[in-house]
Amino acid sequence: MSTDVEWLTAEQEQVWRRWLALNAMLPAALHRELQADAGLSLPDFDVLVHLTDNPAGRVRVSDLAHALQWEKSRVSHHVTRMQRRGLVCREGCPDDARGAFVVVTTAGRAAIEQAAPGHVRAVRDLIFDHLTDAELQALDTITRKVSARLAPTSDGGAAGR
């Protein structure tokens, strides 16, 4: 394409391309890990984390959507797929007949317990174990700044899990 536009500096462009590549490879690597350890996908893992974080292992669809920052329809589709594999099931809500709970099954619990150690190890091994404190600080600042541009609402330090 013609260069009518002010593009990035050479260094910016290099970083940008590496960032893009990273964000394609990183989820793929974590996916492979989970898949090998417990037959889970990354979204499966996220759902199971939120379900097992809840003492009852039961979470309303809306709450799940909010916690994961997913659209409700995405939650619904994904729960359907996970249900088909026996990882979760649905239950009606007595209080509000419109509502539904997603409930983790025994198999779901087993899967995440099997997957978690390797997943954590992978995250640490791929990223955090190799960063100095200064680099971690810088990454904190950078992600904060970009987040602020992307999500003008709800930035700051939106609650650890």
Partner DNA sequence: CCAACATAGGTGACGTGTCAACTATTCCGG
Partner DNA sequence: CCGGAATAGTTGACACGTCACCTATGTTGG
Residues forming the site for a copy of itself (CB under 8 A): 1-2, 4-8, 10-19, 21-27, 29, 48-49, 52-53, 69, 112-113, 116-117, 120-121, 123-128, 130-131, 134-136, 138-147, 149-151, 157-158, 160-161
Task: State in angstroms the smallest separation of the CB of 81 from DNA.
Answer: 4
Q: What are phi and psi of 5, to 5 degrees?
A: -100, 145
57 makes contact with DNA (CB under 7 A): no
72 binds, among DNA, a copy of itself, none (CB under 5 to 8 A by kind): DNA
Which among 52, 108, 112 has a CA at the least distance from the CA of 82? 108
Interface positions, 34-53, toward DNA (CB under 7 A): 41-44
Closest approach, Cβ 13 to DNA, in A, equals 20
Whether 111 contacts 119, CB under 8 Å: no
Measured from the Cβ of residue 150, the count of other Cβ atoms closer than 10 Å reads 8
In angstroms, give the least distance from the CB of 122 to a copy of itself. 10
Nearer residue to a copy of itself within complex by CB, 22 or 93: 22
Identify which of 46, 90, 87 has the alpha carbon closest to the alpha carbon of residue 68.
Answer: 46
- The number of residues making up the chain comes to 161
| Paired tokens of 38 | 């417990």
Question: What is the rounded distance in angstroms from the CA atom of residue 90 to the CA atom of residue 81?
Answer: 12
Question: Of residues 58-97, which lie at the interface with DNA (CB under 7 A)?
Answer: 60-62, 65, 70-81, 90, 93, 96-97
The answer for residues whose C-beta is within 8 angstroms of residue 156's C-beta and 6 or more apart is: none
> Closest separation between CB of residue 4 and DNA, Å?
25
10 Å Cβ neighbour count for 63?
16
Binding site for DNA (CB under 7 A): 24, 28, 32, 41-44, 60-62, 65, 70-81, 90, 93, 96-101
